[in-house]
Chain A
Amino acid sequence: NAGVTQTPKFQVLKTGQSMTLQCAQDMNHEYMSWYRQDPGMGLRLIHYSVGAGITDQGEVPNGYNVSRSTTEDFPLRLLSAAPSQTSVYFCASSHAPGNEQFFGPGTRLTVL
């Protein structure tokens, strides 16, 4: 099993550009989520999904969109990148929200 995979590993954007961070898991997990990690802030939940076709907002959803068309994939879209979105983004999955979470390796995003 590959576990949770994320692409790209690194990305540099200019303010106003859009992009999609990819996340996939091969463990047949129903629950998937996106976090951002900033220095001194810990991890903050952006969006989550309890199954295909179902998504909801987390603590810091503004500026981000998600969709969940399949169990395996949970892409995160930045609509119009801003410097405040410079961060490391982690995707995670689990069988259920309160269970052990499996994290991807992260995407380091810089917005200039």
Chain B
Amino acid sequence: SQQGEEDPQALSIQEGENATMNCSYKTSINNLQWYRQNSGRGLVHLILIRSNEREKHSGRLRVTLDTSKKSSSLLITASRAADTASYFCATGGGADGLTFGKGTHLIIQP
């Protein structure tokens, strides 16, 4: 069953603009992770935010976590063509691993 659900399902923006995607989940979590998947490739880990953290930065990425609303957001600033990919949030941490959402497909228009 899906734990995380990303929103929107698809997003198209101009190069240089900021991209924001959201993730909602259902049960309490230890941490939440974001992954990127380029077309035809495996997933690549972007960032992990723990349940006691509210915000985390990594380069042009900013992730927020609101455990009271069971939601997270991923902001990519100053987007580039190379950011075109699908982005997934994932929750879990027990032995049965991570549960992924269906992803947001981001297209950066040149």
Residues of A at under 8 Å CB distance from B?
4, 31, 33, 35, 40-43, 45, 48, 50, 56, 58-59, 90, 92, 97-106
Contacts and interface: CB of A to CB of B under 8 A. Distances in A.
B11 interface: no
A91 B44 CA distance: 12
A2 to B, nearest CB: 13
Contacts of B1: 59
Contacts of B93: 97-98
A66 to B, nearest CB: 13
Q: Which 7 residue pairs of A and B lie closest in terms of their CB atoms, listed nearest first? A: A98-B93, A103-B42, A42-B102, A43-B100, A100-B45, A103-B43, A42-B100
A37 to B, nearest CB: 9
Contact of A100 (B33, B40, B99, B101): B33
A45 B31 CA distance: 18
B97 A97 contact: yes
Interface residues on B, range: 20 to 34
Contacts of A42: 2, 88, 100-103
A95 B109 CA distance: 37
A48 B95 contact: yes
A4 B42 CA distance: 10
A45 B95 CA distance: 12
Contacts of A41: 102
Nearest to B45: A100
25 contacts: A42-B2, A42-B88, A42-B101, A42-B102, A43-B88, A43-B100, A45-B96, A45-B99, A48-B96, A90-B43, A92-B43, A97-B92, A97-B97, A98-B30, A98-B92, A98-B94, A100-B33, A101-B33, A101-B43, A101-B98, A103-B42, A105-B42, A106-B40, A106-B41, A106-B42
A42 B1 CA distance: 10
